[in-house]
Amino acid sequence: MVLATNLGFPRIGGKRELKKAVESYWKGAISQDDLHAQARAIRLQNWTMQKDTGLDHIPSNDFAFYDQMLDMSCLLGAVPSRYNWDGGAITLDLYFAMARGAQTDRQDVTAMEMTKWFDTNYHYIVPEFTKDQSFKLSCSKIFDHYQEAKKAGIETRPVLVGPITYLSLGKTEDDNDPMALLSALLPIYESILKQLADSGVKWVQMDEPCLAMDLSESQKAAYKTAYDMLSKAAGDMNIIVTTYFEGLRENTQLACNLPVEALHIDLRRAPDQLDAVLNALPEDKILSLGVVDGRNIWKNDLAQSLSILNTAIDKLGEERVMVASSCSMLHSPVDLAQEVKMDPQIKNWMAFATQKVQEIVTLTKGVNEGEASISSELVHSNEGAEERRTSSRIHNPEVKARVKAITPEMSSRQQIFADRRPAQQASLGLPSYPTTTIGSFPQTTEIRKARAAFKKGTLPEMDYTLAMKEEIKQVVRYQEEIGMDVLVHGEAERNDMVEYFGEQLEGYVFSKLGWVQSYGSRCVKPPIIYGDVSRPTPMTVDWTHYAQSLTDQPMKGMLTGPITILCWSFVRDDQPRSETCRQIGLAIRDEVSDLESAGIKVIQVDEPAIREGLPLRRADWDAYLEWAVESFKLSTCSVADSTQIHTHMCYAEFNDIIDAIAALDADVISIETSRSQMELLEAFVTYKYPNEIGPGVYDIHSPRIPTIEEMVVLLEKAAKVIPSNQLWVNPDCGLKTRGWAEVKPALENMIKAAKEMREKEESSQVA
Ligand code: GLN
Ligand code: ZN
């Protein structure tokens, strides 16, 4: 019998109950007992649903109050010393202090670092290891939850992050090889497995996504050492090692030969790996086939999945196959049934986590009892797949023809930067060290209220427009008053830099409750690209044109770039991402052209997500960067030499993609640097970045108001390594999360700092 299994289920609850409970607890509005009771209710609901739907392996310990990696650190007793942990069982308040920092009369500690979980938009808490880190079993959650489910009559498969992935994702003192800690760590994993086995667990899931990444020799060796020991500790209990987000590639032999009972592979992200794995898998091992996408929102093509499953069954036999989600469903929204207002046809193409569990069960039934037993589901699925292949709502021949007709000239400016620069200087007439901002100004309560009321329909469009125009007028006047050189309109009308454009593009749909955990209690609701993307009418021209009409200074048009729009959406799975990105690039190109025709001389196309779109395997970087750069240039290269294109990037390590950043050929780039004291500039210096650059001098992520002197210091530091005629003066990022009370003095200081730099320059020229 083939088994129906799942790697993990979203823990936030269909209506974000967990977020609300946790935040109430933080505010002191509910007790710890209440919080636990609400969490138990969510778990029970998830387990029961999965059981009732018919799963054979139901995950437990996939629940976390904040993050599963933080839970591992607590389980293993890897608590950094600044938390003054007494070595006893880890309390919930200690847990939350590690997650978010704590500032009370008793303690004042910073949070642990947070970073992206592989190439998802989920963020995990990075383990911190000292050189002589010791470990100790310090939390009973994994055992408790297994018992909790068992008491409810539900047998579960506890989930752990495996030791190599856990160590690999941590931060070590002096950047030492984390594998050096393996021998200290393994005994704890051994005792966890023994205890699980003793409590009657039949299958334990060890998540080892790192097995599908580029591995060092020491990681490879560690995999062998670790699983040799762990398989012994597990005794009769079965271990499944799960890999996801990539294919095993050169690690296929290593993964297939680990001494465990089952291996899981992601056949959505890396369908090509199936043959190699089927050939390499020793005869006693079970293969778990991740055929239902755990991190997207599209319905499964059942016929296609059945054919994959049958290929595996032909080779391995029924006893050695499991049907599974490709990865944990943590990255998928909870329940499509809640989307009562969504366009029914588009909704019919989708599946959220609850529906995905059903798909797994249906597929399993199909292979166990024959396709006739799921004939109506198959018909329905085939119809849906056929509809998606042919629907005129998805396929727009005009868009496809336009993408096909893209020529290399379209993604190249008319002249090289050095030759178009004089035209820009003549048209803009800016001083040296020109000042600007990244786009948004503080989103005040009034702005948010007006936008919400307009969306609800309680504020008429005319009044809303008036309110926004009033806001624009004020920020334009303010910028003129303080002597800003290149102005912005402030983005008051935008809730979110991707959603704002998605709402105006064809090919996008929005969910009401399609929340996905981003970190801790924070959830995001990514817009969904279901069809060919095009721009029916201008999206920003009216606002920008109005703003420009109020001033003689250049007004900067503000757009989000194609790569960022792609990265922060759920993307259709029926064509390559590169194709979708080009379509978005063309839509933004139209907007850029319209802004230019409306008299806008400076246009910024933000790409903060360019680096996070990088593939997980180094070998795939170049191909990605090529189409990413092309899409950006498609969107920006229609303009005349005299039109100045800006881009903005934040929170990124630029060193390893500096070639691609230069290839974007934006006339001006603004980047985050102030926090690192200009260290991030290094890449641009070594590379001799040829175009203009605005290294942020004001850290907008902090409420602190930077002084004139410290910004002058930063600018002088920058001017030492970058010719001053290439330098701009600007904050690190947009100001929408800040209040005016901080922003005003900070910007005024920033402008004074620029003036000081100009004066110094003049006096040195006179001298
Ligand atoms: N233009 C955007 C803003 O100022 C850029 C935001 C970002 O980089 N994340 O808000
Ligand atoms: Zn930014």
Q: Are 179 and 222 in contact (CB under 8 A)?
A: yes
Residues with CB under 5 A from ligand 2 (ion): 608, 650, 733
Which of the following is catalytic: 36, 380, 395, 701? 701
Decide if 502 is inside a domain.
Answer: yes
Q: Is residue 396 part of a domain?
A: no
Distance CA 633, CA 585 (A): 8
Q: How far is CA 527 from CA 262, 513, 563, 675, in A?
A: 36, 11, 14, 31
251 backbone φψ class: left, alpha, beta (φ>0; ψ -120 to 50): alpha
Angle at 575 between CA 209 and CA 379, to 5 degrees: 90
Nearest CA to ligand 1 atom 6: 734
Using alpha carbons, select from 268, 303, 261 the residue that is nearest to residue 285.
Answer: 261
| 371-392 CB burial, b ≥16 within 10 A, e <16 | eeebeebbeebeebbeebeeee
CB neighbours of residue 53 within 10 Å? 18
DSSP string, 408-454: GGGGS-SS-HHHHHHHHHHHH---SS-B---SB----HHHHHHHHHH
Does residue 701 have an active-site annotation? Answer: yes
pLDDT over 90 (residue 543): yes
What average pLDDT does range 639-657 have in this prediction?
91
Which of ligand 1's atoms lies nearest the C-alpha of 733? 8
Do 369 and 430 reside in the same domain of the chain? no
Q: If you take atom 3 of ligand 1, which residue's CA is the nearest one?
A: 734
Strands 58-60, 102-103: pairing kind: unpaired
- For residue 440, the cross-strand partners are 490
Q: Please indicate, yes or no, if residue 403 is contained in any of the structural domains.
A: no
Tell me what the mean pLDDT of segment 128-152 comes to: 97
Question: Using CA atoms, how far apart are residues 622 and 628, in angstroms rounded to an integer?
Answer: 10
Residue among 634, 489, 514, 666 nearest 563 (CA): 634
CA 695 – ligand 1 centroid, Å: 15
Distance 398 CA to ligand 2 centre (A): 34
State the alpha helices, DSSP H only, in 84-203: 92-100, 141-151, 163-168, 182-198
Tokens matching residue 620:
């795939």
Which ligand 1 atom is the nearest neighbour of the CA of 560? 1
Number of the ligand closest to the Cα of 437: 1
Please identify, by atom number, the ligand 1 atom nearest to the C-alpha of residue 649.
8
For the chain, give the percent of residues with pLDDT over 90: 93
Other residues' Cβ atoms within 10 Å of the Cβ of residue 696: 26
- Taking the C-alpha atoms of residue 485 and residue 707, their distance in angstroms, rounded to an integer, is 20
Please identify, among 368, 390, 412, the residue that sits at the C-terminal boundary of a domain.
390
Ligand nearest to the CA of 495: 1
What are the strands, taking DSSP E only, across 316-415? 321-325
Instruction: Tell me the average pLDDT of the chain.
Output: 96
Question: 710: which 2 tokens?
Answer: 């410290």
pLDDT at 767: 67
Mutate to test the pocket of ligand 1, among 479, 602, 733, 737 (most ligand atoms within 8 A of CB): 733
Question: Among 360, 406, 298, which Cα is nearest to 631's?
Answer: 406
HSE-CB at 181 with a 13 A cutoff on CA atoms is 30
In this structure, are strands 123-125 and 114-116 parallel, antiparallel, or unpaired?
antiparallel
What is the C-alpha separation between 390 and 392, in angstroms, rounded?
A: 6
Residue 540 predicted with pLDDT over 80:
yes
Residues 102 and 221 grouped into a single domain? yes
Which ligand 1 atom lies nearest to the CA of residue 734? 4
pLDDT value of residue 676: 77
Structural domain total, the chain: 2
The dihedral formed by the CA atoms of 632, 634, 640 and 641, expressed in degrees to the nearest 10:
50
656: its two tokens: 């390893």
Which pair of tokens denotes residue 584? Answer: 């978005």
Candidate from 64-68, 280-284, 530-534, 678-682 with smallest mean pLDDT:
678-682
Nearest CA to ligand 1 atom 1: 439
Asked, for residue 411, whether it belongs to a domain, the answer is no
Q: From 163, 307, 167, 161, select the one nearest 244 (Cα to Cα).
A: 161
* Distance separating alpha carbons of residues 126 and 133, to the nearest angstrom: 15
Average pLDDT over residues 484-499: 96
Distant-in-sequence, close-in-space partners of 66: CB < 8 Å, separation ≥ 6:
22, 95, 96, 99, 100, 125, 520, 521
Residues 274-314: pLDDT tens digits?
Answer: 999 999 999 999 999 999 999 999 999 999 999 999 999 99
- Would you say residue 701 has pLDDT above 90? no
**DSSP secondary structure of 190-214:** HHHHHHHHHTT--EEEEE-GGGGS-
Q: Please, what's the b/e burial string for 713-752 (b: 16 or more CB within 10 A of its CB; e: otherwise)?
A: ebbebbbeebebebbbbbbbbbbbebeeebbeebbbbbbb
Ligand nearest to the CA of 490: 1
Q: How far is the CA of 650 from the centre of ligand 2 (A)?
A: 4
What is the CA(645)–ligand 2 centre distance, in A?
A: 16
Confirm if 5 and 323 have CB atoms less than 8 A apart.
Answer: yes
Q: Kindly list the distances between the CA atom of residue 65 and the CA atoms of 77, 136, 141, 240, in Å, as whole numbers in the listed order.
A: 17, 21, 11, 25
Return d(Cα 37, Cα 528) in angstroms, integer.
Answer: 34
One domain, residues 362 and 435: no
Q: What is the pLDDT of residues 151-187, one digit of tens each?
A: 999 999 999 999 999 999 999 988 899 999 999 999 9
Atom of ligand 1 nearest to the CA of 558: 1
Is 209 a member of any domain? Answer: yes
Helix (H, G, I), strand (E, B) or coil at 242: strand
Give the ligand with the smallest distance to the CA of 743. Answer: 1
Q: Are residues 291 and 437 in the same domain?
A: no
Say which DSSP state 121 is in. Answer: S
Shared domain check, 438 and 360: no
Does residue 696 sit in the same domain as residue 580?
yes
In a shared domain, residues 345 and 475: no
- What is the structure's pLDDT at 680? 78
**At a CB cut-off of 8 Å and minimum separation 6, what does 763 contact?**
none
Do 211 and 252 lie in one domain? The reply is yes
C-alpha closest to that of 365 among 353, 355, 377: 377
At residue 678 the predicted structure's pLDDT band, cuts being 50, 70 and 90, is confident
Instruction: Report how far residue 531's alpha carbon sits from residue 393's, in angstroms, rounded to the nearest whole number.
Output: 7
Q: How many whole angstroms from 479 Cα to the centroid of ligand 2? A: 20
Judged on CB neighbours under 10 Å (0-12, 13-18, 19+), 518 is middle
**Are the CB atoms for 251 and 273 separated by under 8 Å?**
no
Residue of minimum CA distance from atom 5 in ligand 1? 734
Residue 706, number of CB atoms within 10 A of its CB: 21
Identify whether 629 is part of a domain.
Answer: yes
Q: State pLDDT tens for residues 440-449.
A: 999 999 999 9
Same domain as 373, residue 426: no
- As for ligand 1, residues whose beta carbon falls within 6 Å of it are 438-440, 491, 497, 558, 606, 608, 648, 650, 733-734, 736
Sign of the four-CA dihedral 501, 507, 509, 514: negative
Tell me the backbone φ, ψ of residue 198, rounded to 5 degrees. Answer: -65, -30
Going from the Cα of 648 to the center of ligand 2, the distance in angstroms, rounded, reads 6
Q: How confident is the model at residue 582, as a pLDDT?
A: 98
What pLDDT, on a 0 to 100 scale, did the predictor assign at position 657? 93
What is the C-alpha to C-alpha distance for residues 142 and 192, in angstroms, rounded to an integer?
A: 9
Query: What CATH number has the domain bearing residue 122?
Result: 3.20.20.210
Q: Which of 498, 560, 648, 670 to mutate to test the pocket of ligand 1 (most atoms within 8 A of CB)?
A: 648
Which of 479, 491, 497, 671 to mutate to test ligand 1, by most ligand atoms within 8 A of the CB atom? 497
| Last-in-domain residue among 367, 390, 413 | 390
Are 337 and 441 within one domain? no
Q: Which atom of ligand 1 is nearest to the CA of 494?
A: 10
Q: 443 and 337, same structural domain?
A: no
Q: How far apart are CA 136 and CA 77, in angstroms?
A: 5
Task: Please report whether residue 413 resides in a domain.
Answer: no
Cα of 23 from ligand 1 centre, angstroms: 27
Same domain, residue pair 464 and 377:
no
Asked, for residue 395, whether it belongs to a domain, the answer is no
Q: Average pLDDT for residues 48-59, to the nearest whole number?
A: 98
Burial of 393 (0-12, 13-18, 19+ CB in 10 A): middle
Boundary of a domain, candidates 374, 390, 406: 390
For ligand 2, the distance from its centroid to the CA atom of residue 310, given in whole angstroms, is 48
Element (DSSP H or E) covering residue 475: helix 461-482
Look up the domain containing 436 and give its range.
422-766
The CA-atom distances, in angstroms, between 417 and each of 422, 645, 678, 745 are: 9, 11, 24, 35
